[in-house]
Chain A
Amino acid sequence: MSSAIKQGQWAILLWPYLLTTSIPLDCRDEQGGLSRCPSISQEKLLDRVIQHAELIYRVSEESCSLFEEMFIPFPLQLQRNQAGYPCITKALPIPSSKSEIQQISDKWLLHSVLMLVQSWIEPLVYLQTTLNRYDGVPDMLLNKTKWVSDKLMSLEQGVVVLIKKMLDEGLMTTTYSEQGLFQDDGQPEMLEYVMRDYTLLSCFKKDAHKMEILLKLLKCRQNDIHSCA
C-alpha cells in the first residue's frame, strides 16, 4: 500500500517521465491474476531473457559500428583497442572476471544484471533524442536505437519477474530518473558531444555483453552447477 502511494506520488510529480514508467509487475500465477503476466516456467523465462540480452547486444554492436562509421574520424575510432572513455556504469560493482563471476551467487548475478539494465534505460532514451539532431543520421541507426531502448525495458521486466520467481523478491521496475546527468544540451555535432555519444554507445555495447554473459552463466548454473567451469 505504501509503495503504491509512493509510486503514485512520484508519478504525479514527474509526469513527463511517465513515458518511461512501467507498471509494477505483480505476477500472481496462482490465481487468475493479472493478464499482463501469464504464468511461464522459470527455464523458459530465463531462456527468453537470455535471448533478449543476446539480441540487445547484437543490435547495440551494429548501432555502435554505424555511428562510428558515420561520425567518428578514423584516428579516434576505438574499434581496434576498444578502450575509451570511462563508462557511466563503472561504478557498479559488477564482477569483472570469470573467476569472480563464478564466485558470486545467483542472487548477485541477477541483481547485477538488473542494475545494469536499469541504469541504461534512461541514457538510451536520451540517446534517441540526441541522435535525432545529427545531420544525415541514417534512419537505420535511429530505428536500432529505438528498438534497443524498447527491448531493454522489456528485458528489465523479464529480469524482475525472474528475480521474483527465483529469489522470491518483489521489485519495482524503473519508473523515473534520479540522475540528472543527461540534459539536452543542444549543439550536437561538436566533437565533444559526438565523442560523448560515441562513448555512450560503446559503453552500452559492453554492458549489454555483460548482461548476456551473466545471464548465460546463470543458466548454466541452473542446469548443472558442476559442469560450469
Chain B
Amino acid sequence: MYPGPTSPVNRLHKSVSSVRSSGSRQWTQHGQNTEGETESFCQLKARLCGATMKKVLEVILLLLLLVVTHAKGTRYSPPGKPALTRCRSPEKETFTCWWEPGSDGGLPTTYALYYRKESSDTVFECPDYRTAGENSCFFNKNDTSIWVNYNITVVATNALGRTFSDPVDIDVVYIVKPNPPEQVAVTVMEDKGWPFIRVSWEPPHKADTRSGWITLIYEIRVKLEEENDWEMHLAGQQKMFNIFSLRSGGKYLVQVRCKPDHGYWSEWSPSSYVKVPDYFHREKSVWILITVFCAFIFLILTWLLHMNSRSLKHFLLPPVPGPKIKGFDKQLLKNGKSEEVFSALVATDFPPKSSNYEDLLVEYLEVYIPEEQELMLEKSMDLDVGCLKCEGSASDSDSGRGSCDSHTLLMHKCDGVKEEEERQAKEARRHQKDWKEEASTYAHVDVSPDMSSGRVKTWPSVFSPLPRYTSNQQGSLEMAKQHYLSDSLFPTSSTSSYHTQPGHGTTEAHGPGYWECGLSNKQPHLLHPQAQAQRQLQARSDDNISSIGRKQTPAGLHSPARRSTEYVEVERVNEEDMVLLQPVSGRCGDVEGYPEMPYGEDYSKVKGVDMDNMLLLQREVREETENCDTSSTVTTTQKPAACIHSAMPVEGEMVLGVNGYVDTATVCTPPTY
C-alpha cells in the first residue's frame, strides 16, 4: 500500500508537537526546579534550538513531498488495455500465450488470462503464469486440447479498475512452431574425387514425429563464410541432405530449420562450420592439356607457313599477267614515251592478212574502206540530208562489233529523201537484231533495187570488208557453215569494192530468208548491170562479203544499225539484172508494204543450174496477205550465176538438199585459180 502523503507530515507534526510538548514539559519542569535554574536554562535553550532546526527541516521535507506527490497523484487511472501478442505450441501438445501489457494507470496492475473452450461456457484461468516468463501463460498437456477453439482474454486489474483485452480464438493445431532441429552434423564426403557436404540432423526432441503426431519438413541454407547470400535447399521430410558444387578450400556455414505441415517455420539452428579441402579440378587439367596441344600445333603451323611463304603467296595472290598486245612494247611504256608505244601498236599489216579465217572471224571484225569507196561514200553522204558523215576509213578497232555498228553502217541512218529510202530504213530497223559475235557471220541481204538507177544494192549484214578484200575472198566456203551470202549487186565500174546498201522495198526481199546461192567469191553477177554500169555480184562466205559499189549511192542509204540478223530471200532477178529479194516470212508486218520473211529456214529454191554455171532460182509463189506487196521475183532466165566464177561446174555436182535446195556452201568451192 502506498503510505499516503500525510504520514511524513504527521510525523513532522508529531515531532513538532513532541518538541512543543517536550518544550512545555521542560518549561514546567523548569518551574519546579528553581535550584538548578542556571544550568537547566542553558540546556533548555540548546534543546530548543535543536528542536527548531529539526522542525524547520521537517517542514521543508514535507513541503517537498507534498509538491512531488501532488504532481504524481493526479494521473491515476484504470489500467490500459492489454493485448495478446501470440500463442505458440512447440509440439502440438502444449502451448503458451504471451501478451503485451498496456499502461498500468499509475497503480500496480495485475494481469489474468481467462479462456473458454469452444464447446462449453466454463471460463478457466490460466494455470501457469510463470513457466514461460513474464506476461505469459503456459498450458500444459492436460489443459491442451487439439482441434478445439480456445477463446482467450487477458484482463488487467488495478486499484481503479480492470480492463479486458480483445478476445482471441486459437486452435492449437494451427499455431505450432517447433523448435529448431537438433544435432546438426555436417561432414565432408567425397564422390569420385569431387567433395560434397552431407548434412544430417534430428527433429526437435519435443516434437513427436515418430508416431506421426507431427509431420515436419526441413529446410537447409548454406553460404560461404565471407559472403552474404544464402543458398536454400528444401529437404522435405528427410533428415539428411547432400550439397554439391562446392568451392575448393572454402569454409561454409550450414543451418537447418523445420516446419509442420500446417504451422510456422522454426528458428534456424545454430550455424555449423565446415571447411572443404582443397581439391584439384580435374576439368582444369584437361583444359590445360588442350591448350598446350593447340599452342604446339599453332607453332608448327606458323613454322610451316614461314617456310612456304613464297609459294603460298603465289597461290593466294597470283601474279598479274602482263599485257599481251601484239606490238606492245612494255619497255617503251616504261620508258614513258607514249607516242612510240602507240605508234608501235599501229601495225603495218593491220588488218592482218592471215589465212586463218577463223581468227578473222572472231577477232577482227573490221570494215575497211578503200580510198575510192570512201570517196563514193563521201559523195553519197553529201547528197543526203542529215546524213552522218562516214568515217569508214578509220578502222574500227573494236573487234566485238559487227558491221552493223561500224561506221560504214552508220551513215545509213539518215532518212532518205525518197520514200523508198524511208522504207528501206524502216525495213532495216525492222530487221535489226542484236548481233552476237559468234553469229556474226549472218549475212543480211537487203536488196533494194533502185529502180531509178537500175541498180540493186544489197547490204551485207555482216561486215563488209571492202575492196581490198576482194582478193582475199575466198571464202573458203566451207568455213561458212552458217552461211550467208550477201549478194550485193552493184553496178560499179570499180573492181571489187562494193558495199551494199539496204534495198528498196518493192523489189526487195527482206527478212530472215537468206539466199543460198553458189555465188562465187569473185564477181558473180546475177544481173547484168545497166549498160553503163557494171554490176558485179560478189559473194562471200562468212567474212567475205561481196559488196558492190555504186557510183551513186542512192539516197536511201539507211543505217542498218537496227538491222536484224535476218535473211532475205532472193525472189528473182528482174530484167535489169537486179536481184529482188523477198522476205522469207510471209508476214506483212510492221513496215508497210514490206513482206517479211519467216525467220530461219527459208531458202531460195534452186531450180537448176544451166550451162553457164548459173543457178536458176525458182520463184516461189506465196500466199500473201492483203497488205503485202508482191515481192519481186527473180527471173530465172538470165544471169550470170552466182557461181559464175567458180571453177567447178556446178551441174556436175548438184547437191540438192532435202527440200530441193542447194547448199551453196558445199557446192561452191573456192576457185582454184
Contact = CB atoms under 8 A, between A and B. Distances in A.
A223 to B, nearest CB: 9
Interface string A81-104: 111101000100010111100000
B211 interface: yes
B419 to A, nearest CB: 95
B93 interface: yes
Interface string B147-188: 111110000000000000000111101110000000000000
A11 to B, nearest CB: 35
Contact of A209 (B119, B148, B168, B262): B262
Contacts of A98: 92-93, 141, 146, 208, 213
A82 B149 CA distance: 8
A83 B170 contact: yes
Nearest to A102: B211
Contacts of B215: 216
Given A94-B147, A209-B147, A61 B213 contact: no
Contacts of B148: 96
Interface in A39-85: 58, 61, 78, 81-84
B144 interface: yes
Interface string A210-222: 1001001101100
A82 B118 CA distance: 12
Contacts of A220: 210-212
Nearest to A79: B174
Nearest to A218: B212
Given A90-B119, A228-B211, A96 B147 contact: yes
B269 interface: no
A111 interface: no
A176 B210 CA distance: 38
Which one of B170, B173, B213 has the greatest number of beta carbons of chain A within 10 Å? B213
Contacts of A227: 210-211
Given A98-B213, A220-B211, A82 B146 contact: no
A99 B119 contact: no
Contact of A97 (B146, B150, B211): B146
A94 B119 CA distance: 13
B666 to A, nearest CB: 96
Contacts of B145: 96-97
B142 interface: yes
A82 B141 CA distance: 20
A196 to B, nearest CB: 17
Nearest to A100: B145
A81 B173 CA distance: 10
Contacts of B118: 83, 86, 90
A206 interface: yes
Given A97-B141, A98-B93, A216 B170 contact: no
Given A81-B168, A83-B171, A99 B142 contact: yes
Contacts of A1: none
A83 B211 contact: no
A216 B213 contact: yes
Interface in B227-269: 261-262
Interface in A78-136: 78, 81-84, 86, 90, 94, 96-99
A229 interface: yes
Given A96-B148, A97-B141, A82 B171 contact: yes
A78 B171 CA distance: 11
A227 B213 CA distance: 12
Given A82-B173, A82-B174, A96-B148, A217 B141 contact: no
A71 to B, nearest CB: 20
Given A94-B147, A96-B146, A97-B146, A229 B173 contact: no
A216 B262 CA distance: 16
Interface string B178-218: 00000000000000000000000000000010111101000
A217 B173 contact: no
Contacts of A210: 147
A61 B93 CA distance: 22
A206 B118 CA distance: 14
A110 to B, nearest CB: 15
Contacts of A61: 262
A84 B173 CA distance: 14
Given A98-B141, A216-B212, A228-B210, A83 B173 contact: no
A61 B262 CA distance: 9
B263 to A, nearest CB: 11
A84 B92 CA distance: 19
Contact of B212 (A81, A96, A97, A217): A217
Contact of B151 (A78, A83, A96, A219): A83
A89 B142 CA distance: 23
Interface string B124-153: 000000000000000001101111111100
B169 A217 contact: no
Nearest to A221: B211
A213 B209 CA distance: 11
A115 to B, nearest CB: 14
Contacts of B175: 82
A98 B210 CA distance: 14
Nearest to A203: B147
30 contacts: A78-B169, A81-B169, A81-B170, A82-B171, A82-B173, A82-B175, A83-B169, A84-B149, A90-B118, A90-B119, A96-B146, A96-B147, A96-B148, A97-B93, A97-B144, A98-B208, A98-B213, A99-B141, A206-B147, A209-B147, A209-B173, A210-B147, A213-B212, A216-B211, A216-B215, A219-B212, A228-B210, A229-B208, A229-B211, A229-B213
Given A90-B118, A96-B148, A217-B212, 17 more contacts: A61-B262, A81-B171, A82-B149, A82-B170, A82-B174, A84-B169, A96-B145, A96-B147, A97-B141, A97-B145, A98-B146, A209-B147, A209-B262, A216-B213, A217-B213, A220-B211, A229-B211
